[in-house]
Amino acid sequence: MSREDRANPANVKLLRVAYNELLDAQAKAIDAVVTDGKGDDPYEVFAPLPSGQHGREARLALARSIKDVFDIPQNKRAKLESGLICASPVTVAAIERLNIAKESLKSTVSQIKGTDDPDNGSLGYRPVELQRTMKEVGFAAADLKRVYAKIRILEPGVHRVSWTWLVNHGTYKPIPRDVLERRLAGLEKEDPAAAALARSRLDAVEKPRPVTFFTLPDQLRVNYSTGAKGSRTNKSAAVSGVLVVPQKSLPIIKWVDRDLHQTRKRTRRPEPVARRELLPGWGVFYDASSPR
């Protein structure tokens, strides 16, 4: 590797420190999870495994899922989507330290990105300096989103936990006017009549608010209740990976596999009456509720 192809030594030092701190925190968290399973009265766990959901194999699978964030998954179906670890105060503290280390690594990566030339890279790709630094530290292939994902710690006194998959869903994202203008200018060269129709529809309303629709990947959510009978509180949140609850025994558990959610008949939320597609198949929608 030539000198020109090497990362800034200061950046390598920064990232190596943050990376090693994360590995150390990760190892201590895994050790704590395993230790909680020892003895005659272990803390309970749940992992959605066909071979067993509550024993030693389940605990080891949950521990591995904490470690596997740096590995490239060969099979997404083989990845443990979630699970529940009942944790001692020592384990909760170890998980909290791991989450802090994740945030520290994220901050360090952001700092390194800021040292690179804004034009030295392509949109949607890691800046060249970050690529070089990660390669020298030794985790160039890691999915940083997986690495950054914190382990959610629920509050004590959880009574019931269930997981659901949000499938066949999406979101609308506003289109900047200059971006839409460039698309329309390109369309005018290919199909002037269609471009004229699109412009007439946009001009016919006071606030067209053009948007595009993005299909989102399936999202795993956890639903849980806390508190005493008669005064329980229900909560819901998106989740990525295992959950930790600071109590000894498992709450009531309900798990539904992703395949069952995907095979159920789902209806997409109906479009707002005022939102119309600008041109068939163009993927742009506008608000027709305020005609001029």
Query: pLDDT value at position 115?
Result: 72
The pLDDT mean for the chain works out to 82
Is pTM, for the whole model, over 0.85? no
Cβ atoms of 162 and 254 within 8 Å: the answer is: yes
Q: How many CB atoms neighbour CB 21 within 10 A?
A: 18
Query: pLDDT value at position 51?
Result: 66
Distance CA 223, CA 225 (A): 7
* Domains of the chain, residue spans: 3-158+227-256
List the structure tokens of 212: 């595009």
Query: pLDDT value at position 122?
Result: 46
Query: pLDDT value at position 126?
Result: 74
Average pLDDT for 201-209: 82
In this structure, of 156-165, 189-198, 273-282, the range with the lowest mean pLDDT score is: 273-282
Query: pLDDT value at position 160?
Result: 94
Query: pLDDT value at position 123?
Result: 45
Whether 289 has a pLDDT exceeding 80, the answer reads: no
Query: pLDDT value at position 116?
Result: 65
pLDDT in tens, 25-67: 999 999 999 999 998 899 999 988 776 688 888 999 899 888 8
3-state secondary structure at position 217:
coil
DSSP 224-286: EEESSTTS-EEEEEE--S-EEESSSS--EEE---HHHHHHS---PPPPPTTEEESSTTS-EEE
Give the count of alpha carbons within 13 A of 11, CB side only: 20
List the structure tokens of 131: 């690529």
Query: pLDDT value at position 244?
Result: 95
Confidence tier at 117 by pLDDT (50, 70, 90): low
pLDDT in tens, 85-97: 999 999 999 999 9
Query: pLDDT value at position 272?
Result: 52
Query: pLDDT value at position 125?
Result: 63
Query: pLDDT value at position 118?
Result: 54
**Can you name the CATH fold of 3-158+227-256?**
Replication Terminator Protein (Tus); Chain A, domain 1 (3.50.14)
List the structure tokens of 59: 């605990």
pLDDT in tens, 119-160: 555 445 678 888 889 899 988 888 888 889 899 999 999 999
